Amino acid sequence: MHRVSNYLSLRAVQRCFKIPNNGGEISSGIYFPRQNSVSVGGIRGYAARVAPGAAAVDKAIQEAESSTEGNKATPADAADLAADRPRFPGSRSKWTGKMDFLMPEAYEGIPVYRVMDRRGIIDDPTQDPNLDEATLVKMYQTMTLLNYMDKILYESQRQGRISFYMTHFGEEGTLIGSAAGLDDKDLAYVQYREAGILMWRGFTLDQFMNQCYGNEEDIGKGKQMPVHYGSKELAFVTVSSPLATQMPQAVGSAYAYKRAQNGKVVICYFGDGAASEGDAHAALNFSATLDCPIIFFCRNNGYAISTPTSQQFRGDGIASRGPGYGIPTIRVDGNDTLAIYNVTKAARDLCLTQNRPVLIEAMTYRIGHHSTSDDSSAYRSVDEVKYWDQEDNPISRIRKYMTHKGFWNDEKETQWRDKAKKQVMVAFQKAEKKLRPAPEDLFNDVFDELPWNLRKQRKEMLDAVKSHPEQYPLKEHAKIGSAST
Amino acid sequence: MITKNLISRLRPALVRPTTSIRHASAHFTYVPEVAREEYGPTSKRNLFQSINNAMDVALGSDRTAVIFGEDVAFGGVFRATVNLQEKYGKDRVFNTPLCEQGIVGFGIGVAVAGSTAIAEVQFADYIYPAFDQLVNEAAKYRYRSGNQFNCGALTVRTPYGAVGHGALYHSQSPEAYFAHTAGLKVVIPRGPIQAKGLLLSCIRDKNPCIFFEPKILYRSAVEEVPNGDYEIPLGKAEILRQGTDVTLVGYGTQIHVLKEVADMAQEKLGVSCEVIDVQTISPWDAETVCNSVTKTGRLLVSHEAPITNGFAAEIASYVQKECFLNLEAPVERVCGWDTPFPHSLEPFYMPNKWRCFDAIKRLMSF
């Protein structure tokens, strides 16, 4: 039993304490002695003047305590107590007399939604999205094409032919499953390990390669490091290296979309490490308070470079944070492409119909190294990697499912492999032969127009090149003066 | 943040004319200017009212434009957004959570999606949490994407500069941090007429802009401001007073100090000063400044921000390169000291008219 006194309402307090009206005022439960009853003689004088009142309060407390000891509250008090709720503007809840810390360990982790098991068998038939053959084949082919492209470009970096690369090994399912669950016109903000979205939407192998080589046909004009793709046409906002910065930006775009009522949502991808950035906090909070139609898609692959999740957070992953921000949240098996598809599609509907954000945490595993600048065997075991590569891989899992359905077989696999490899190699060789942008392109697009100082600096740069042409890699670049703008 | 909330509550005291005039009279006098006739009919407005009016015009002429930040919905702690929510609706003028990196990131996203974003950071002193979003993101959006994406429709407004008693975190002048970043435009008006025209230019410019509003002028600077829609071009300095002996360059509140200094120099030394308000810090109008120095042969640059690596350093080094043969004396910089901005010691920190006057004497006697 809780002591009744814990539930005393303001009115009950007034009644119990029988505070004389001329002795002071009750406001917010705090006893304020009247100013004019306080002498200017300091604390002693003050105590002396209020002493009679204090005696009355003591008496009232004694009365109140004696009446509560036997739980003898009057019916009027009981009604008051029942209606009594905390009125703090900062929360919605009820009182409790039990001092109970909310222990995070007391709760089971948020469950992982799964549609098919590792053998490609559906647990619950009602959850099978029953995608048609053409869609499933496109999904599978995109996942495997991405996988081939990763292998070729990873190797090319090892050979020093491109400066940098990041693979998607093990995360193909999160990318293609979610891309298929969206409308292709939905605006995607990503981190960097999401090229599958672009590939699904029709970014060509030539375009990927041109970006990695930074040649003159790169639509990013050779300004950024490899894998920093972007395409206005495919509603895929250009990647930047600073982590999580895209998150509050995606929220701003979602807000603009809501005002434009264009029937589109914004999706924002990020890793479990990026979720520790302040910008992640900003984004989640802004999206909820400003009612934005945005899907936050977290790729929780267990590592941020060498840092395991145990050193990244102590809560139940990223998903557990969603409810704290007032965001509908789900956790899903990232290696189950169909589960990813289902939750993304449902999240999209939820965003559009309710104008509110949704958080999806896709549990997966980063099979590859963080990047070509990283050797992950320095911080994790080869056996651990092998398990995810061979026993629980999104590509092999969906292939098994498609085989059960009769949509795929070994013969198709062999033909597709050959075709895919050939496509990748052709695009790779083409991109390698192309020239890099003209030198003066260095100054373009800083502003919409070139200000005087950049025009001046461009001339200085070109003069410097003319003085020492042999000191610059001019043969690798398009001719001076050939840049557009 | 506690300090910030306290100050927000104390805001009437911070900007009440009696208070600011008491402090202001110690270091400058605001002399109302007359707007160009071509801008049309005028009404008497102080700086915050003219900024409010500029945003009213911007929202009226662009249905995609939105205003957001901390406490902007009820009118803002400096009253700059007063009545705008009532007029344009809660979806166009709204409060955000208290998070500067979120405010600027959100604004970039609004702009990327093709809408006009007018973000407010409550004090320039609190813009640093958004430094990453401004410097790594906003400034580089167009460049890094090969002009596929841009956030040119973003403007960040923020109260700025000394206010008499703002101490470390309600007095700062952080323009030089941003002037070092390619891709951002940085603009500072000296009074109500310029504030409206320059802010409208920033809002409509196709590049992300940071608009610093000298908060000591919010109420103390009052003049006849054109009612209509007019823009003052970015990247253009304005010669406020013609002179032949010394060029005085500054921006924001410091312009009023320099104008007074020019009078003192004329009166006490018989020295003719040319006063230039650069208005746009980045990209700045070097041509106007260099033409003036070519004529006068002497240059004084003055700003409230600390001297080392302040924007005066950029002006000074550029001018000495371009005008080497014309310079009769080393370039003088009269700036804040290389200290944090102090509370009760503010009068000794400020680059006041006496320090500027002494610099002119040094320039003339070199």
Map out the domains of chain B as residue ranges: 4-226, 238-365
**pLDDT for the residue numbered A107:** 83
Q: Which residue in A has a C-alpha nearest to residue B133's C-alpha?
A: A245
Number of domains in chain A: 2
A91, part of any domain: no
**Chain-centre distance of CA A160, in angstroms?**
33
Mean pLDDT within B325-343: 98
Q: What is the pLDDT of residues A332-364, one digit of tens each?
A: 999 999 999 999 999 999 999 999 999 999 999
- Given CB atoms, is A324 within the 8 Å cutoff of chain B? no
The Cα A338–Cα A120 span in angstroms is 10
Q: What pLDDT, in 10s, does the model give residues A86-138? A: 989 998 899 999 999 999 988 899 999 999 999 999 989 999 999 999 999 99
Helices (H) and strands (E) in chain B — how many of each? Answer: 16, 14
- Statement to judge: residues A221 and A304 lie in one domain: yes
Of A219, A248, A259, the CB nearest to B106: A248
- Catalytic residue positions of A, numbered: 155, 241, 370-371
Is residue A384 domain-shared with residue A358, that is, in the same domain? yes
Residue A34 falls within a domain, yes or no?
no
CB distance A281–B94 less than 8 Å? no
Report if residue A90 sits inside a domain: no
Inform me whether the pLDDT recorded for B290 exceeds 60: yes
Query: What is the number of other CB atoms lying within 10 angstroms of the CB of residue A373?
Result: 12
Nearest by CB to B148, which of A238, A247, A248? Answer: A238
Where residue B191 falls among pLDDT bands split at 50, 70, 90? very high
Contact B158, B128 (CB under 8 A): no
Higher pLDDT, A293 or A24: A293
Q: Percentage of residues in chain A with pLDDT exceeding 70?
A: 83
pLDDT computed for residue A27 by the predictor: 37
Residue numbers in A near B128 (CB within 8 A): none
Domain assignment present for residue A153? The answer is yes
How does strand B66-69 pair with strand B117-120? parallel
The whole-number pLDDT of residue A5 equals 34
User: According to the model, what pLDDT value does residue B351 have?
Assistant: 98
Q: Which of these is catalytic: B100, B175, B213, B332?
A: B100
> Which domain does A241 fall in, by range?
116-433
- Same structural domain for residues A380 and A444? no
Return the residue in B66, B112, B141, B290 with the most chain A beta carbons within 10 A, the one to mutate for interface testing. B112
Nearest to B101 among A256, A279, A290 (CB): A279
Domains B4-226 and B238-365 belong to one CATH topology: yes
Q: Are residues A290 and A420 in the same domain?
A: yes
Predicted local distance difference test score (pLDDT) of residue A359:
98
> What is d(CA B345, CA A131) in angstroms, rounded to the nearest whole number?
73
Helices A10-17 and A75-83, packing angle to 10 deg: 150
Of A467-476, B9-18, B209-218, the least confident: B9-18
Q: Report the alpha-carbon distance of residue A11 to residue A31 in Å, rounded.
A: 13
Q: Chain B: nearest CA to A251, how far in angstroms?
A: 6
Q: Are residues A408 and A460 in the same domain?
A: no
Are A125 and A162 in a shared domain? Answer: yes
**Would you place residue A63 in the very low, low, confident or very high pLDDT band (cuts 50, 70, 90)?**
low
Strands B222-226 and B209-214, by their bridges, are unpaired
Closest by Cα among B337, B161, B329, B327 to B255: B161
CA nearest neighbour of A194 among A214, A171, A213, A223: A171
Beta-carbon separation of A278 and B129 below 8 A:
yes
Quote the tokens at residue B17.
């004319």
Q: Determine contact: B197 vs chain A, CB below 8 A.
A: no
Q: What type of residue sits at position A64?
A: A
Instruction: Say yes or no for a CB contact (<8 Å) between A290 and B66.
Output: no
pLDDT value of residue A83:
77
Pair A469, A320 in one domain: no
| A 8-67 → B contacts, CB under 8 A | none
Residue pairs between chains A and B whose CB atoms are closer than 8 Å: 159
AA identity, residue A414: T
pLDDT reported for residue A12:
37
Six token digits for residue A455: 């025009």
Say whether residue A482 is in contact with chain B using an 8 A CB cutoff: no
Min mean pLDDT across A60-64, A178-182, B59-63, B151-155 is at A60-64
**Do the chains contact at A255 and B96, CB–CB below 8 Å?**
no
Nearest CA in chain A to B91: A259
- Tell whether A402 and A331 lie within a shared domain: yes
**Which residues of B are less than 8 Å from A281 in CB distance?**
99, 102
- Measured between alpha carbons, how far is A464 from A457 in angstroms, rounded to an integer? 10
Of A249, A444, A451, the CB nearest to B105: A249
Model confidence band, residue A80 (pLDDT cutoffs 50, 70, 90): low
How many CB atoms within 10 Å of residue B357?
20
Q: Take residue B95 and report the two structure tokens written for it.
A: 């409060």
Residues of chain A positioned with their CB less than 8 A from the CB of B129: 278
| From B101, B111, B147, residue closest to A248, measured CB to CB | B101
Q: What angle do CA A176, A180, A181 make, to 5 degrees?
A: 120
pLDDT reading at B60 higher than 70: yes
Confidence category of residue A14, pLDDT binned at 50, 70, 90: very low
- Give yes or no for A90 touching B (CB within 8 A): no
Rounded to 5 degrees, what angle do the CA atoms B197, B201, B206 make? Answer: 180
Q: Are residues A414 and A468 in the same domain?
A: no
User: Does residue B316 carry a pLDDT above 90?
Assistant: yes
Give the confidence band of A13 by pLDDT, cuts at 50, 70, 90.
very low
Q: Domain for residue A17, yes or no?
A: no
Q: Which of residues 280-299 of A touch B (CB under 8 A)?
A: 281-283, 285-286, 289-290
Catalytic residue among B27, B170, B256, B303: B170
| Mean model confidence pLDDT for chain A | 87
Please give the CATH number for the structural domain made up of B4-226. 3.40.50.970
pLDDT (mean) for B335-364: 98
Residue of A nearest to B70 (CA): A286
Residue A430, Cβ density class (10 Å: 0-12 exposed, 13-18 middle, ≥19 buried)? middle
Known active-site residue B346: no
When CB atoms are compared, the residue of A223, A279, A285 closest to B97 is A285
- B238-365 architecture in CATH? 3-Layer(aba) Sandwich (3.40)
Same domain, A378 and A466: no
To the nearest whole number, what is the mean pLDDT of chain B? Answer: 94
- What span, in angstroms and rounded, lies between the C-alpha atoms of B288 and B277? 10
Mean pLDDT, rounded, for B3-27: 46
Assess B64–A contact: CB distance below 8 Å, yes or no: yes
Is A188 in the same domain as A287? yes
CB atoms B108 and A187 under 8 Å: no
Q: Which of A228, A245, A286 sits opposite B137 (nearest CB)?
A: A245
CB contact under 8 A, A259 and B64: yes
Q: Report whether pLDDT(A393) > 70.
A: yes
In a domain, A65, yes or no: no
- Predicted ipTM of the assembly: 0.93
- Return the beta strands (E) in A242-291 as ranges: 266-271
B149 vs A221: CB contact, 8 Å cut-off? no
| Distance between CA atoms of residues B210 and B199, nearest Å | 10
CATH number at A206 reads 3.40.50.970
Q: What is the number of other CB atoms lying within 10 angstroms of the CB of residue A127?
A: 14
**A255 inside 8 A of chain B by CB:** yes
Pair (A185, A248) in one structural domain? yes
pLDDT recorded at residue A84? 84
